[in-house]
Structure 1
Amino acid sequence: MWWGTVRAEEEDPLSPAQVRRVRAVLALGGVPRDDHADGVQQVRLKLIERRAQGTESPRDIGAWAAAVASNYAVDWHRGRNRQERVSERLQTMTAWRQSVPGPEEGVLTLAVAEGIEALPPLQQQVLILRFYVDLTVPQMAEVLSVPLGTVKSRLHAAVQAMRVHISAGTGVRG
């Protein structure tokens, strides 16, 4: 098979009118024009996969293609939102590291900073979101896309580890 071209004996599974309809659905779904070709390609791929599996072709290929394009638009937005959440998390992680005061601010501040640095990344993440970003546990679960219980157990383990670290480093009893 030649990529990017259709051989003469192979027929495009979508008519030009259906391709225009798919592009219109993608545009209405908020997918940027640069990604329309990918959306049309996904619709073609789904149709070819159906044929290869021996599944009966849809009665109205245009309507079916529009539904697949709509699903592609939803998936595109989910992926974008997921990427934005990851970027926000990374910005939060770097922001707290830049805002940690130096040792002149006190022994306790230094002990907290060192304690956070010593934690595993997942525990660092929940501590920062809870105490620096002031998110609630349910908000953290939503932002991190993990179950509520996972956030609670990570937060509990992180607080316990911090308590041990601070009390050992400063002589303060937790």
Structure 2
Amino acid sequence: MLLRGRPRRGREAHAAAGGDPGDGADPLDAAQERRVRAVLALGGVPQSDLPDGVQQVRLRLLERAAGGREAPRDVSAWAAVVASNLAMDWHRAKRRQERLGERLAALRQPAHPSGEDSSVLSVAVAQGLDELPDAQRQVVVLRFYADLPVRSIAEQLGVPEGTVKSRLHTAVRALRARLHEDEVV
């Protein structure tokens, strides 16, 4: 792995000298690890999740090296940017979980005094989801339960946006037909 820029010390010197990423050497030195922890903590990541965040940064650096890509010019700055991105990802995931929790709580609240109608609807939707092909079920869950936009779903699945839209349309149509067939709606 090639390292350029400022002089390297310790593990960086080992990597610059052609050290193998699989040889057990830690790609982050102690100062870089402290910086990553600080960026994660200042980004709002809880103390209990900091070790996982540091490991994610290490993993991304090792993946970069294993993929044959050149090491960043300034490993410390690169690690800080990755840590900042991880903190944003953590917040997004937390918001998604909160929204999902709110939606699930709303499903549990009876729409009518008996609550029977909403629970019947929930069961029918769950059964309908189970009957969908995997690709359709996946986009429905990502769109309506994980609250991801179509563009993000397409990027994550590696398919065109039009494919995601088509799968959503087909799945919703099938679910709607099933609910009418079962006389739930």
Does structure 1 residue 31 correspond to structure 2 residue 32? no
- Mapped partners of 2:75, 2:59: distance in 1: 13
What runs of 5+ residues in structure 1 fail to find an aligned partner? 1-8, 103-108, 124-139, 167-174
Larger Cα Rg: Structure 1 or Structure 2? 1
- Percent identity, aligned pairs only? 46
- Mapped partners of 2:71, 2:56: distance in 1: 16
Note closer, same or farther for the CA distance 1:27–1:113 as it changes in structure 2 (3 Å cut): closer
Q: 1:67 deviation in Å?
A: 0.6
What runs of 5+ residues in structure 2 fail to find an aligned partner? 1-22, 129-142, 151-164
Work out the number of aligned pairs and report it. 134
* 1:33-75 Cα distance to aligned partner (Å, 9 max, x none): 1111011101111111111111111110000000110111111
Instruction: Tell me the TM-score normalised to structure 1 length.
Output: 0.58
* 1:102-129 Cα distance to aligned partner (Å, 9 max, x none): 4xxxxxx98x669746743499xxxxxx
Q: Hey, what does 2:125 align to over in structure 1?
A: 120
Q: Which secondary structure state, in structure 2, belongs to the residue aligned with residue 120 of structure 1?
A: helix
CA RMSD of aligned residues (A): 4.0
**Which of residues 16, 34, 50 in structure 1 aligns to 2:64?**
50
Instruction: Tell me the TM-score normalised to structure 2 length.
Output: 0.55
Note closer, same or farther for the CA distance 1:144–1:50 as it changes in structure 2 (3 Å cut): closer
CA contact (8 A) 2:43 2:84 kept: yes
Alignment of 1:73-92 (within 5 A): 73-92=87-106
